[in-house]
Amino acid sequence: MAQKSESIRNKIDFIKVKDDTHTFKLADKLLEGGILCLDFNDCPKEQSERVLDFLAGVNYATDGLVKPMKKNIFLFALKEHYKDPEIKDFISKFSSN
């Protein structure tokens, strides 16, 4: 009997970024195909811009996209993940766009 795959929505790591300390660990998660929803509301502007720029580059290199959700909250995922109905539903419910 085939196992039901885990919900893609359960695979999203929700992380509150407070500084640029863990940027490389976040990049590693993206390189492994992870899905990150990052909240930069408590991160200094200069640091959040650096982290966003770096992770956007990593995400692009892995054929991913970055979607702004709400103020200072971004979803990083592979393009293939954005085709999943659960991710589409998540974006429509929580996005400000």
List the domain range (segments joined by +) for residue 75: 11-94
Residues of the chain with pLDDT > 70, as a percent, come to 90
Give the whole-angstrom CA distance, residue 78 versus residue 21: 23
Q: Is 6 inside a domain boundary? A: no
DSSP 82: G
Q: Is 55 inside a domain boundary? A: yes
Q: How many domains does the chain have?
A: 1
4-33 pLDDT, tens per residue? 456 766 789 999 999 999 999 999 999 999
Q: Is 3 inside a domain boundary? A: no
CATH number where 31 lies = 3.30.110.150
Q: Where are the alpha helices (DSSP H) in the chain?
A: 23-31, 45-61, 85-94
Give the whole-angstrom CA distance, residue 66 versus residue 60: 8
pLDDT score for 17: 97
Its pTM stands at: 0.86
Predicted confidence (pLDDT) at residue 59 exceeds the cutoff of 80: yes
Predicted confidence (pLDDT) at residue 69 exceeds the cutoff of 70: yes
CA dihedral 36, 17, 45, 64 (to 10 degrees): -10
Q: Is 49 inside a domain boundary? A: yes
